[in-house]
């Protein structure tokens, strides 16, 4: 058993993890490139201890990385958690600490790293018999203290050694009390799963924001009332125990208090906090890459249709460049200049809100389908052998995409005794999933139609609607695309089966037609 853990990175996550592990009784060595971050973390630990007296282990802050590394010498093999920015910062710390690492040491990289970088570091350190584990950590800084959901991937034996430690620290599924952490697979599998978690998160975030916008801007519902609707959705039915809906309800009901604004800069105390929040969501610090972007590129690379996830990401990208958006708005003079009608009477509103709830559910499920299919595809391509049921299990608590009903529906499909031997590559072939998509298709369509009429925004809801349509369409407009391509590029085409009995079968063979004889 480990008595000490080394944490690299004293940002929000690293600080909260230090507190969390100290609460478990471990001594913590903490280092960050910024001395100020270390001091702040140590002060926070002191305050927390004075207030709650929960820390059983000591937290020691280090300004010098060599002193930090030396502090780990007594507990060999050592275990470290990195909570730092992906890419170069992680490489530079790895270099700095390299000489202090000895056989059997384990580094859990808890940042949102690209799985190829993880695999590169794993290879580099393997010669020293040091294990680099790519570990997704989800749940934001509050979960980092109270228990996150974690997806470690890498050397199995190494992960099994630290698993008891992680299980103690992880969030627990309230029903089964099982910890939300498990060995995911070899090499970059853990970071890949966390990347996809964030992709699903983007699809869900976009969907819930669109629902909020419809309620607020078209149904003209005040924040409080929307908060009540979200609260109801989260408490019962298919959207129950969905984290993003639950915090949505709190956001809608939060009024400003002087102590809430952490910058303390004249936010005032009247009204809702939400009114102070601009519509601009950036990706990472420099608005460049990150898990959202990686998920979309992986989906494209591996030929997995993931439109809800992609659209959620692109909405975010467009939102991030606010200056340009305002200039375009000037030129376009559409949407925002048209008054949004207050359409619904109370009676219609009630029925519409039920449609909206079901549309949100369907769109959340579409995000899950797309994300799980991407994991299944990558797992097969990379021979990771990831168990999708395990992914769903560790997403039951602690993380951002927790969705109680969806997890209850999906986990048994993979974990029941009659679970299929062959990995499921297409989630929409699961009966439970297809019947949900079938039952909620009409409500989803109603919502998209109405929102379009009201000039409201439905990028993800409409992407989900089209996804359901084309993922299960029997004759798509691509019939014409194929003809066009054959015309201009002799692309060739398959023909419908000659006897026409089985529309799923095509008569193989490269047919080409000379549409315009030379
Ligand atoms: C989580 C979150 C967390 C966070 C990312 C998103 O699971 O706790 O996904 O990792 O949301 O910081 O960051 P991007 O700005 O890179 O999407």
Q: What residue owns the CA closest to ligand 1's atom 2?
A: 138
Q: Taking Cα atoms as reference points, which of 409, 439, 426 lies closest to residue 471?
A: 426
CA separation for the pair 296, 305 (Å, rounded): 10
**Residues recognised as catalytic:** 194, 201
Is the distance from CB of 112 to CB of 86 less than 8 angstroms? yes
**Predicted confidence (pLDDT) per residue in 455-465, tens digit:** 899 999 999 99
Ligand 1 in reach of 110 Cβ (< 6 A): no
Task: Please tell me if the domain spanning 4-187 has the same topology as the one spanning 195-471.
Answer: no
Residue 260: the pLDDT is: 72
Dihedral, 389, 158, 113, 384 alpha carbons, nearest 10: -40
Distance, in Å, from the CA atom of 54 to the CA atom of 314, rounded to the nearest integer, reads 43
Say how far apart CA 333 and CA 104 lie, in whole Å: 63
Please state, in angstroms and rounded to a whole number, the distance separating the CA atoms of residues 111 and 93.
13
Cβ–Cβ < 8 Å for 106, 158? yes
Contact 197, 151 (CB under 8 A): yes
What string of DSSP letters covers 101-164? --TT-EEEE-S---HHHHHHHHHHHHTTT-EEEEEEEESHHHHHHH--EEEEES-HHHHHHHHH
Does ligand 1 come within 6 angstroms of the Cβ of 291?
yes
CB 198 near ligand 1, within 6 Å: yes
Q: What DSSP line would sit under 264-282, residue for residue? A: -SS--SSSBGGGG--S---
Q: What are the residues whose beta carbons fall under 8 Å from the beta carbon of 140, sequence distance 6 or more? A: 400
Q: Check if 290 has its Cβ closer than 6 Å to any atom of ligand 1.
A: yes
Buried b (16+ CB within 10 A) or exposed e, 499-513: eeeeeeeeeeeeeee
The fold of the 195-471 domain, in CATH, is: 1.10.1040
139 lines ligand 1 (CB under 6 A): yes
Query: Ligand 1 centroid to 119 CA: how many Å?
Result: 21
d(CA 213, CA 493): 44
- Burial (CB count within 10 angstroms: exposed 0-12, middle 13-18, buried 19+), residue 201: buried
- Our answer on whether the CB atom of 283 is closer than 6 Å to any ligand 1 atom is yes
- The C-alpha atoms of residue 221 and residue 215 are separated, in whole angstroms, by 6
Ligand 1 close to Cβ of residue 140 (< 6 A): yes
Centre of ligand 1 from the C-alpha of residue 364, in Å: 17
Closest C-alpha residue for ligand 1 atom 5: 198
Count of CB atoms situated within 10 Å of the CB of 298 = 21
Cβ–ligand 1 distance for 111 under 6 Å, the answer no
Pocket test for ligand 1, best of 192, 195, 201, 204 (most atoms within 8 A of CB): 201
Q: Rounded to the nearest whole angstrom, what is the distance from the C-alpha of residue 27 to the centroid of ligand 1? A: 27
Instruction: Select from 57, 53, 51 the least CA-distant residue to 17.
Output: 57
**201 Cα nearest atom in ligand 1:** 9
pLDDT given at position 347? 75
Choice from 291, 313, 314 to test ligand 1 binding pocket (greatest atom count within 8 A of CB):
291
With a 6 Å cutoff on the Cβ, whether 12 touches ligand 1 is no
Nearest atom of ligand 1 to the alpha carbon of 400: 7
Q: 346-382 and 441-453 are packed helices; what angle lies between their axes, rounded to 10 degrees?
A: 120
**Distance between CA 337 and CA 331 in Å, rounded?**
12
| Residue 315 CA, ligand 1 centroid: distance in Å | 16
Domain extent listing, the chain: 4-187, 195-471, 478-511
**Cα 141 to middle of ligand 1, angstroms:** 10
Q: Which atom of ligand 1 is nearest to the CA of 399?
A: 7
- The predicted pLDDT at position 343 comes to 61
Cα–ligand 1 centroid distance for 198 (angstroms): 6
**Is residue 457 a contact partner of residue 218, using CB atoms and an 8 Å limit?**
no
Instruction: Give the per-residue pLDDT at 337.
Output: 53
Please give the Cα distance from 330 to 72 (Å, whole number): 59
The backbone torsions φ and ψ at residue 212, rounded to the nearest 5 degrees and listed phi first, read: -60, -45
The count of residues in the chain is 518
Query: For ligand 1, is residue 307 a contact (CB within 6 Å)?
Result: no
- What φ, ψ does residue 96 adopt, rounded to 5°? -65, -35
Which CATH topology does 4-187 take?
Rossmann fold (3.40.50)
End-to-end C-alpha distance for the chain, whole angstroms = 78
Residue the block writes with tokens 């609260």: 231
Closest residue CA from atom 16 of ligand 1: 290
498: CA distance to ligand 1 center in Å?
51
Indicate whether this complex's ipTM tops 0.90: yes
Find residue 185's DSSP bridge partners: 153
Q: Which stretches of the chain drop beneath a pLDDT of 50?
A: 287
Write down the residue that tokens 């369509």 correspond to: 445
């Amino acid at each position: 058993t480990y008595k000490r853990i080394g944490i690299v990175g004293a940002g929000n996550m690293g600080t909260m993890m230090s507190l969390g592990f100290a609460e478990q009784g471990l001594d913590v060595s903490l280092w960050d490139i910024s001395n100020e971050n270390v001091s702040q973390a140590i002060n926070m630990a002191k305050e927390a201890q004075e207030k709650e007296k929960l820390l059983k282990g000591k937290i020691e802050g280090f300004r010098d990385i060599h002193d930090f590394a030396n502090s780990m010498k007594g507990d060999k093999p050592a275990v470290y958690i990195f909570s730092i920015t992906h890419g170069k910062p992680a490489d530079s710390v790895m270099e700095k600490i390299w000489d202090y690492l000895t056989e059997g040491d384990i580094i859990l990289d808890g940042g949102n790293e690209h799985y190829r970088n993880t695999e590169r570091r794993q290879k580099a350190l393997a010669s020293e018999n040091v294990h680099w584990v790519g570990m997704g950590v989800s749940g934001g800084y509050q979960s980092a203290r109270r228990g996150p959901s974690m997806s470690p991937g890498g050397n199995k034996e190494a992960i099994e050694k630290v698993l008891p430690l992680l299980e103690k620290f992880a969030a627990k599924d309230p029903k089964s009390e099982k910890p939300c952490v498990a060995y995911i697979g070899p090499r970059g599998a853990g970071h890949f799963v966390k990347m996809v978690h964030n992709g699903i998160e983007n699809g869900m975030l976009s969907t819930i924001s669109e629902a909020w916008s419809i309620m607020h801007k078209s149904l003209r519902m005040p924040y409080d009332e929307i908060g009540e609707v979200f609260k109801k959705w989260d408490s019962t039915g298919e959207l129950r125990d969905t984290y993003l809906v639950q915090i949505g309800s709190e956001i809608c009901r939060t009024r400003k208090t002087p102590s809430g604004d952490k910058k303390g800069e004249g936010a005032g105390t009247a009204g809702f906090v939400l009114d102070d929040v601009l519509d601009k969501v950036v990706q990472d610090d420099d608005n460049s890459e990150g898990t959202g972007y990686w998920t979309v590129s992986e989906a494209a690379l591996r030929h997995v249709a993931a439109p809800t996830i992609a659209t959620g990401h692109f909405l975010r990208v467009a939102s991030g460049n606010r200056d340009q958006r305002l200039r375009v708005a000037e030129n376009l003079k559409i949407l925002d200049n048209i008054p949004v009608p207050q359409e619904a009477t109370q009676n219609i509103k009630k029925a519409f809100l039920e449609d909206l709830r079901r549309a949100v559910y369907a769109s959340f499920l579409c995000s899950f389908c797309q994300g799980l299919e991407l994991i299944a595809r990558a797992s097969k391509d990379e021979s990771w052998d990831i168990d999708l049921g395990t992914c769903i299990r560790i997403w039951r608590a602690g993380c951002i995409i927790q969705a109680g009903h969806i997890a209850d529906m999906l986990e048994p499909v993979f974990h029941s005794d009659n679970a299929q031997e062959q990995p499921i590559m297409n989630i929409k072939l699961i009966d439970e999933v297809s019947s949900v998509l079938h039952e909620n298709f009409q409500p989803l369509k109603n919502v998209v139609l109405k929102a379009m009429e009201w000039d409201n925004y439905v990028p993800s809801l409409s992407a989900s609607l089209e996804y359901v349509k084309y993922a299960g369409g029997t004759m798509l407009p691509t019939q014409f695309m194929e003809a066009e391509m054959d015309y201009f590029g002799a692309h060739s085409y398959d023909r419908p089966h000659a006897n026409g009995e089985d529309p799923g079968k095509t008569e193989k063979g490269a047919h080409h037609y000379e549409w315009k004889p030379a």
